């Protein structure tokens, strides 16, 4: 016989023994336990003898299968009858019960980026590796990080889907937008299933924002006099 172990609690298993004909006295059969299952962990309470009452032809032994959430192989409990009292042992002296594992291994995810440093107008590929994730599974990624906006990526999307292949892997590529904003180094972070990888984006803007300042000399003047206004700029081309 066999059954799933369950994720908790216990399940009683009953194993029968029989006589070819009824006896006028009680028949007692010793029972021992073996197999790949561990007594006290995978099963408990095994009856160590079977008594078939006088005038009856059947008796039984019981043990309890313990449910758990551990991923493990199927396990066996083997009950073997010893020499009975007031009877003769027959040919079928052992019974094997299989405890079926019904627990699935947990899925795992990891993500890496290549390259880890990129200039504006470049691209980066994020590679996702999984275990215990079915081929064809759809995963979603999100993009964020220091200074990151929709204007930093081509297409302006900060999330998207990808599909896990038969090898348990998936990937997606992000194209970095080239802009004319002087914003300094930024960090782009991609996140999938709680796992993240980051890329440094070098600012390669060639047109820093212009600045202007104006002062007056003198700052106080009489009627009939003159005043000079001086304008100072940065990042403004000569001749502007």
**pLDDT digits 0-9 by tens, 95-130:** 999 999 999 888 999 999 999 999 999 999 999 999
> What are the φ/ψ torsions at residue 153 (nearest 5 degrees)?
-120, 145
- pLDDT, position 64: 97
Six token digits for residue 100: 């079926």
Say yes or no to pLDDT of 237 above 80. Answer: no
What was the pLDDT predicted at 224?
Answer: 84
**Residue 57 CA from chain centroid, whole number:** 54
Q: What is the pLDDT of residue 207?
A: 61
Q: Which residues lie closer than 8 Å to 213 by C-beta, 6 or more apart?
A: 231, 232, 233
Residue 135 has pLDDT above 70, yes or no: yes
Q: Is the pTM of this model over 0.85?
A: no
CB atoms within 10 A of CB 225: 8
* Token pair 């990080």 in the structure block, residue: 145
Q: Compute φ and ψ for 151, nearest 5 degrees.
A: -75, -10
* pLDDT of 230 higher than 90: yes
The answer on pLDDT for 40 being more than 80 is yes
CA 90 to centroid of chain Cα atoms: 52
Q: Are strands 108-114 and 123-131 parallel, antiparallel or unpaired?
A: antiparallel
Mean pLDDT of 52-62: 97
Higher pLDDT, 182 or 195: 195
Cβ-based neighbour number of residue 193 at 10 Å: 16
Task: Give the pLDDT band of residue 206 (cuts 50, 70, 90).
Answer: low
Q: What letter does residue 146 receive in the DSSP assignment? A: T
Asked if residue 37 lies in contact with residue 95, where contact means CB atoms within 8 angstroms, the answer is: no
> Average pLDDT in the 67-91 region?
95
Is the predicted pLDDT of residue 182 greater than 80, yes or no?
A: no
Q: Which of 28, 29, 40 is nearest to 80 (CA)?
A: 29
Average pLDDT, the chain: 93
Least confident among 56-60, 100-104, 190-194, 202-206? 202-206
Residue among 37, 49, 58 at smallest CA distance from 84: 49
pLDDT over 90 (residue 82): yes
């Amino acid at each position: 016989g066999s059954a799933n172990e369950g994720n908790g609690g216990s399940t009683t298993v009953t194993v029968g023994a029989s006589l070819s004909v009824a006896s006028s006295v009680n028949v007692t059969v010793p029972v021992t336990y073996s197999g790949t299952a561990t007594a006290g962990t995978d099963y408990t309470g095994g009856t160590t003898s079977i008594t078939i009452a006088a005038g009856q032809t059947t008796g039984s032994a019981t043990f309890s299968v313990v449910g758990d959430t551990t991923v493990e192989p199927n396990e066996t409990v083997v009950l073997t009858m010893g020499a009975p009292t007031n009877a003769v042992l027959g040919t079928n002296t052992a019974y094997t019960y299989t405890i079926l594992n019904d627990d699935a291994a947990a899925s795992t995810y990891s993500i890496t980026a290549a390259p880890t440093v990129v200039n504006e107008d470049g691209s980066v590929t994020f590679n996702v590796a999984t275990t215990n994730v079915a081929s064809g599974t759809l995963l979603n990624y999100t993009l964020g990080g220091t200074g990151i906006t929709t204007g930093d990526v081509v297409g302006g999307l900060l999330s998207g889907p990808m599909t896990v292949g038969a090898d348990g892997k998936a990937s997606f590529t992000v194209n970095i937008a080239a802009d004319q904003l002087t914003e300094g180094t930024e960090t782009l972070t991609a996140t999938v299933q709680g796992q993240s990888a980051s890329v440094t984006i070098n600012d390669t803007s060639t047109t820093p924002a212009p600045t202007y300042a104006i002062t007056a000399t003198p700052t106080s003047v009489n009627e009939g006099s003159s005043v000079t206004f001086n304008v100072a700029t940065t990042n403004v081309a000569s001749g502007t």
